[in-house]
Amino acid sequence: MKKVLVLQKVRFGIVGLATMGRLHADRIAEERKGDFCLAAVADTVERTARQVGEQHDVPYFSNAQEMFHSGLIDAVIIATPHYWHPVLTVQAARAGIHVLCEKPLAATVGAARAMIDECARRKVVLGAMLQMRTRAIMKKMKEMIDAGRLGEPFRISMICSNWFRTQAYYDSGAWRGTWDGEGGGILLNQAPHSLDLFQWIGGMPTRITAVLKTRVHNIEVENSANIICEYGDAKVGYIYATTAEMPGMEQFMVCGDKGTIIVEGGQLRFGELSVPISRYVRECKIAWADGISLPKCRWRCVKLPKAPGGQHIEVIRRFAAHLLRGQPMIATGAESINELEISNAAYLSGFSGRPVNLPVDAAKMDRLLAKLERERSTGKGGGQRKRAQRQLKKLLAEKP
């Protein structure tokens, strides 16, 4: 009979050890009595791998594949630029290693679907680092809407102009702001958290129309996105995201039959109607209803827990608890592709000038990216995404 190994403690490896990878390594190392520990690290830049390995006194690798097959780890956090996420996920899954992947899962839905399929086939868990879901304010907003406090939501709008970036940021890495590196702009790199919250709380759209723009920054890709969402019924949604505006703000509003919830400036306000709109529309017999006859709306600030949440370590804790005890994780791979469906649909719409239905046609998205690379790339990205894409294609064709 096949021996089933039961994990006592999750031994994490991390691939990609610059900004996010180092942060995850530090946070895991601080968590001394938890369900997990840092067991190994990897980065293609050997000096970086050695530095982080020595700092945390764990083995280090300049080849992630060697770490996956070392027997030292049970799970890996992938914190490389996103175009490497699919290759590394497939390799880890084939080595029997569970994957917690940084956002976004990939640049395209086609690659992300391949990651999800491979993890399912190899019976390893795929989760995503969508830590914004752990913010107390967002959890509360979702809880209130799911509990029916607004009745049926009919309008969801999100302004996220709080992703401001300087030109120096875009110049800080060859891959940033390029079609042949990053494979997209605000939609793919900065806004995935916002797109995920938008659909996690407001539901998944069925059709998208987008207008994409670039201003101020000297980059190839879009830095501002306007997206109109349809849901197959009377509900509508709107998202505006930019890295080129100040002062930035995060405003998230959901309107329903019984009232409105607004998240803005760190506050959650609930405007509750004395009579639901659908009932008032039917029952009010006044042709020109005015301020006196309209239902009253009582506004209040909803009390939130002291701890704001939103920490990456919470996602890691919950991922480990899922592996050890089957508890729910923050975001599964299958859920975290949703934000990518929205961004890919927005690219397809933005560059065709037409609405796009979801789920996205993966082949169409691949063709669009190849065209943008051919026609708009300055070569700054160094073709890194294409290299990763070729490697993924080869890996998937192997199917060991």
Ligand X SMILES: NC(=O)c1ccc[n+]([C@@H]2O[C@H](COP(=O)([O-])OP(=O)(O)OC[C@H]3O[C@@H](n4cnc5c(N)ncnc54)[C@H](O)[C@@H]3O)[C@@H](O)[C@H]2O)c1
In the complex, the residues that contact ligand X under the rule CB under 6 A are 15-21, 42-45, 48, 64, 79-82, 84, 102-103, 129, 131, 173, 189
Closest approach, Cβ 314 to ligand X, in A, equals 12
> β-strands 207-213, 356-357: how paired?
antiparallel
* Owner of token pair 């508890």: 327
Residues 162 and 194: beta-carbon distance below 8 Å: no
Closest approach, Cβ 27 to ligand X, in A, equals 12
- Closer to ligand X by CB, 64 or 360: give it: 64
- Closer to ligand X by CB, 13 or 205: give it: 13
Closest approach, Cβ 189 to ligand X, in A, equals 6
* Distances from the Cα of 305 to the Cα of 6, 138, 309, angstroms: 35, 12, 9
Closest approach, Cβ 6 to ligand X, in A, equals 30
Please state the φ and ψ torsions of residue 359, each to the nearest 5 degrees: -65, 155
- Closer to ligand X by CB, 155 or 393: give it: 393
Q: Which residues pair with 254 in a beta bridge?
A: 156, 261
- Closer to ligand X by CB, 103 or 133: give it: 103
Question: What is the C-alpha R_g of the chain?
Answer: 23
- Closer to ligand X by CB, 67 or 372: give it: 67
Closest approach, Cβ 76 to ligand X, in A, equals 11
- Closer to ligand X by CB, 220 or 257: give it: 220
Q: What are 371's two structure tokens?
A: 């065209």
Closest approach, Cβ 301 to ligand X, in A, equals 27
Q: Is 152 helix (H, G, I), strand (E, B) or coil?
A: coil
∠387-66-176 over CA atoms, to 5°?
35
Closest approach, Cβ 44 to ligand X, in A, equals 4
Residue 10 CB burial class (10 angstroms; 0-12, 13-18, ≥19) = buried
Q: What are 163's two structure tokens?
A: 């992703």
What's the farthest any 2 CA atoms get from each other in the chain?
Answer: 77
- Closer to ligand X by CB, 134 or 260: give it: 134
Residues 243 and 219: beta-carbon distance below 8 Å: no
Q: What are 308's two structure tokens?
A: 């704001």
Q: Is 79 helix (H, G, I), strand (E, B) or coil?
A: coil
